[in-house]
Amino acid sequence: MKKTVFSLFLTGSLLLGMHTVDAQVYKIGEGVYFPGGVSNNSVVSIMQGKDMYKWDTTSGLVNIGTLAVGTSLSGNICITNDGSKIAGSFTNPVNSLNEMSIYDVGSQTWQNLGSIAATGSGTDLSSSWGMSGDGSIIVGLGWINAGKAHAVKWDAANGMVDLGAVLATRSSRANAISNNKEIIVGWQDQADGFRSGVKWVNGIVQYIKDNDNNLVGEAVGVSDDGKIIAGGNQGLPYVWNETTGFQKITHPNASPFFKGAATGISGDGKTVVGYFRPNGPPFGGEGYIWTEATGRINLNDYVTSLGLSTEGLTFSLPLAISQDGKKIVGTGVKTGTFQAVAFLIDLTSTLATQNWSKTQITIAPNPVKESLTIFGGKIDSVEIYSLTGQKMKDLKIVNGKADVSYLSKGVYILKVVAEGKKQNIKFIKE
């Protein structure tokens, strides 16, 4: 639902990659595009340089606005749960300054939302960083002067409201708001430069702390009910839970030279996405998906384990997850290259069939030497994939059996379609 924006100097060209409706991984565009959010119906909000875009499987990548002043967008480009509204920064034609703004997809119009001061920093007065699921509240940053900014909140009834700062001489920012609209999360700069995580509870700011009562780092996302918060602290992602407390997301290679953070959290707070990477370009690391049950899983490994093709991409920088937890967007690279590619991973059908498949389709024996027997339901099609996501063969099913004797020893994924539903089953060939 929320992402952390990275300032980059690269530019890229557009090359749309459209897929069939059966595809689970979509190439949104080649080049340095940064998806900022994704709706429950797979509409994606994207920024690149001075340009903002909307993407969906029907229309592809569509430019919805370009800054008239300045060299690059500030903030995050967010989207509502239904994909009908997008929040970003847009130039106000009256003052020729960039302001927090909202875009109505239906009317294709922008509305500037103002700021808390008449002057800002350079060409920016304010910027959006988060939005409620229905688009009625937008949170972000408003400049007070060129050197200081405060967290802000906008709604139609009250306009732009200064949320203030814990330390009067330091800056703050709001990054996300819960869908119940009671909790806002973000950061507060400390005197020593540490960017500490904070939450505003019904407008009152509080520090987020670990289990030893220490300040933690920036908070980037919050669950629908405001009880679970994701962020990054001293090079490690974290999840803060109102009931169970503070938990780090770890990596065996974590060090001062290999750091990570969270970038998004699902509405129920059960799924977090983010990255770990070495110092240097943001695409040089690896993305992850985390749940309390599974822990951290490399995002490429996770996608492959579901029997989905990675489309030749390394999902190095996931930037947001939908409220329903079933769509992940970000920027990666073509595996083995430096070519950046924006992506969408749609887990809808996969997650739905996981629950269905556990009681409907089974195979035996597993491990197998020669022939697999498939039980349950009317089988429409069966395909074999390698663990790297490469399709190997369409299997012919005769009396519920499939010949796999020709396969080399190893682990494979069986992609079964039965009565219109999909299931992925991992098996071992002896």
Which percentage of the chain shows pLDDT scores above 70?
Answer: 91
The pTM is what? 0.79
User: Does 266 score more than 90 pLDDT?
Assistant: yes
Does the structural domain 355-429 have CATH classification 2.60.40.760? yes
The structural domains of the chain, with segments of one domain joined by +, span: 25-346, 355-429
Residue-wise pLDDT for 8-41, tens only, equals: 323 333 333 333 334 489 999 999 999 999 999 9
Mean pLDDT for the stretch of residues 406-416: 87
The predicted structure's pLDDT at residue 397: 86
Which CATH fold would you assign to the domain 25-346?
Answer: Neuraminidase (2.120.10)
Specify whether the CB–CB gap between 221 and 185 falls below 8 A.
Answer: yes
Six-digit token pair at 85?
A: 């509204």
Length of the chain: 430
The predicted structure's pLDDT at residue 354: 45
Which percentage of the chain shows pLDDT scores above 90?
Answer: 69
The predicted structure's pLDDT at residue 360: 55
Residue-wise pLDDT for 205-239, tens only, equals: 999 999 999 999 999 999 999 999 999 999 999 99
